[in-house]
Structure 1
């Protein structure tokens, strides 16, 4: 396999005298302009945090742009220098894309990954907010047009963000959960809950603490679309449904989108295309409207 990077996907290769490409499926990229990806680093408290910033296509120095902070799943995972088609789509539509690897991510050792153990939505939220501060200070991001979004733990972290950072105007939360008392026994993480948080009937305050986006939904002002997959047993739709109902009852701008028959990772091409278009439409409505 030939190495890919932020500007070119992987492709098959033979290893004889070096590496020899066996496929040409990336040739279409030569006819397109791609957005520039830059490394960023900043401090969150005393912790050094790293990530990437994709500049809008046709970026002009000194001009402020709407920014979308993309939040990865896992949470033990990391964004890396690989081709992310959705980042390029957002950049082509005039957004800066911020991809932070907050505490809880892999790639920085055991202690860094364990920093959110039993304490979800605390230091990782601080790290994402510090990243937003950084791109605002760089002069790239418009502080009045900030969006967030992610899938799986990225959706969970999206819910934490909208309940913690009032600057966020629009969010897309995919396959997320916020009421972990309601998730216990409904999703596949009962063992992790018991190890990290405890037992709901014994450690109710701990469950309420990590479920603050649901129990303090009145803190949320961001227009938020919740998405889920109808056959997902990893993070069932109950997580999205409960948050949607909470914001609807509070008369916030919100929508619920369910992809029928799909598991945790969407695979049907029409659904994948629908999701990216819905994301663009949602962010466009709240981050680009005059």
Structure 2
């Protein structure tokens, strides 16, 4: 921004363009402004690889409007039937926007219908909506996601026998939670999931600031953990562990019939890699179809800020898994 606050350069993205710089200039003596695009870094590549088309629709759920985005493969033909991949964002207070999301483009561009849903708990829809998920991970948010899948599966061009699910962070939690509660998905990819809330509470870098609020942790006597734990935790640990286990995907591993791929950074302090290690170990011992990939030196945000070769590897592993099973 210039010193007179009349000229501002911003970066902007939309579903058809990863990002460009724009100059916004206010007209002298008015409240009117103009916008001019300054860069075109991606135009050559996009000319050869056209972005996929996106449909946005709203699903009515009780008192809530659940916003959904459906990405269509290139050359989409409604007379054909396509596999569908459900995409789940992180957070849970994240959200999918009208922006360029690489993994949505990669999935849809390869031939998968890609459904991105903002269930209750997502941000940008008001405080009541974002707080609706507190203490209810895997509850109504799961129902919102499945309702969106049900709605789209009514369309003739969706192959209901070829459904996949992918999510990262909280999305990884929901991915492993969903395959423990339904056998409708033929393939799952869980990035940096938290699958055991009790052990995550003791190891994550945001266990207290985030976990106690999101999981509505209370002790046996109803006392919230909001002060030094000492004696209170010692007295209530059994009940606390039990309550967290009831909301942990690892509890439902015996019910899983879906092949699952775990992708996790080794230096993740937010959702420590031990979460995937636990799930992998249990799934292997149960004779389930599971694979795990470790990304050396990668923290929780490596999909946005990590080395491009590792980000590419993540997307290729995800894509290969869905190609294999769907």
Sort the TM-score into its range (normalised by shorter chain).
over 0.9
Q: Which of 197, 200, 204 is the equivalent residue of 2:217?
A: 197
Q: Which of 24, 28, 49 is the equivalent residue of 2:66?
A: 49
Q: Which of 272, 280, 287 is the equivalent residue of 2:319?
A: 280
Aligned residues: 286
1:256 aligns with 2:292: yes
1:59-93 Cα shifts (integer Å, max 9, x gaps): 11132211111110011111010011221111121
Q: Which has the larger radius of gyration?
A: 2
Query: 2: distance between equivalents of 1:263 and 1:2?
Result: 25
1:205, CA displacement in angstroms?
2.8
Q: TM-score if structure 1 supplies the norm length?
A: 0.93
Is the contact between residue 2 and residue 12 of structure 1 (CA under 8 Å) also seen in structure 2?
Answer: yes
1:111 aligns with 2:147: no
Q: TM-score if structure 2 supplies the norm length?
A: 0.84
Is the contact between residue 90 and residue 171 of structure 2 (CA under 8 Å) also seen in structure 1?
Answer: yes
Segments of structure 2 that go 5 or more residues without pairing to the other structure are 1-9, 26-32, 220-236
Give the 3 Å change call, closer, same or farther, for CA 8–194 of structure 1 in structure 2: closer
SS in 1 for 2:17: coil
Q: Which of 251, 254, 257 is the equivalent residue of 1:218?
A: 254
1:45, CA displacement in angstroms?
5.0
1:82 aligns with 2:99: yes
1:144-193 Cα shifts (integer Å, max 9, x gaps): 11111111111111111111221011011011111111212111232133
Q: CA RMSD in A?
A: 1.6
Query: 2: distance between equivalents of 1:221 and 1:46?
Result: 33
Is the contact between residue 2 and residue 19 of structure 1 (CA under 8 Å) also seen in structure 2?
Answer: no
1:123-134 correspondence to structure 2 within 5 Å: 123-134=140-151
1:46, CA displacement in angstroms?
5.4
Please identify, of 26-35 and 90-99, the stretch whose mean Cα deviation from structure 2 is larger. 26-35
1:84-121 Cα shifts (integer Å, max 9, x gaps): 12211111211000000001101211111111101111
Segments of structure 1 that go 5 or more residues without pairing to the other structure are none
Query: 1: distance between equivalents of 2:239 and 2:250?
Result: 20
Q: Which of 261, 264, 267 is the equivalent residue of 1:228?
A: 264
